[in-house]
Structure 1
Amino acid sequence: MMADITVSEAWRRVGGDTQFIDVREDFEVADGMIPGARHISLSTLSARLGEIDRTRPAIAVCRSGNRSAQATDILWAAGYRVDNMGGGMLAWQQAGLPMDR
């Protein structure tokens, strides 16, 4: 598994080649997502791997970093280049970073 990255590092990668995979539930993403992120809940991730571009790096995101760590394990095992955003959206919001609503 890859190591956690900080929200600051994740923010630097928004808008670039990195794809953000938000693995929270529907009711959680209603509060806002990282700009450009794709919502694929953890419970559906294994069945939806084909929707994620294998040629681009990815960052898994959840509320606090726990579910995204599980998602990172799943994606890493399937051959994706992926990092986990430590602290999740709680840390993102605390840092005052922009969100799409």
Structure 2
Amino acid sequence: MPTVEVTDLKDGDFLLDVREDEEWDAGHAEGALHIPMSEFVARYGELTEAAPQDGRVNVICRSGGRSAQVTMYLVQQGIDAVNVDGGMQVWQAAGRPVITDGGAPGAVV
């Protein structure tokens, strides 16, 4: 499983959040693309439109399980994708900002 540590991600790296709507609404990384895992196959085109053509897709969920499944799917499709180890829990613990859609401080649930 290709993985990346939260601390290795740089500002501006492409981030795909596959958590469900209520988790996203509570708090997420600024600039992330949100496609819930439960809707991923149906909304796959949104990723191909938004992802950088020559860049990596960093996939994140709450703790790393769902994002690992999506990462493996993307790799099978020939996309350079990696699972963010530890997910949003580690993201928040590392002091990375978590916000709501309105820009207010958020939380990982």
The TM tier, using the shorter chain, reads 0.7 to 0.9
C-alpha RMSD over aligned residues? 1.4
Partner of 1:25: 20
Task: Indicate the structure with greater helix content.
Answer: 1
Q: Which runs of 5+ in 2 are unaligned?
A: 101-109
Q: Look at both structures and tell me which one has the larger radius of gyration over its CA atoms.
A: 2
Task: Tell me the number of residue pairs that the alignment of Structure 1 and Structure 2 aligns.
Answer: 96
Question: TM-score with structure 1 length normalisation?
Answer: 0.86
1:95 and 1:31 mapped to 2: Cα distance?
18
1:21 and 1:41 mapped to 2: Cα distance?
9
Give a deviation string over 1:19-57, Cα, whole Å, max 9, x none: 211000001011211110011011111222211236132
Partner of 2:64: 65
Question: TM-score with structure 2 length normalisation?
Answer: 0.80
State the percentage of identical aligned residues.
Answer: 41
Q: Which runs of 5+ in 1 are unaligned?
A: none
1:40 and 1:73 mapped to 2: Cα distance?
16
Moved segments of 4+, more than 3 Å: none
1:58 and 1:97 mapped to 2: Cα distance?
18
Partner of 2:41: 46
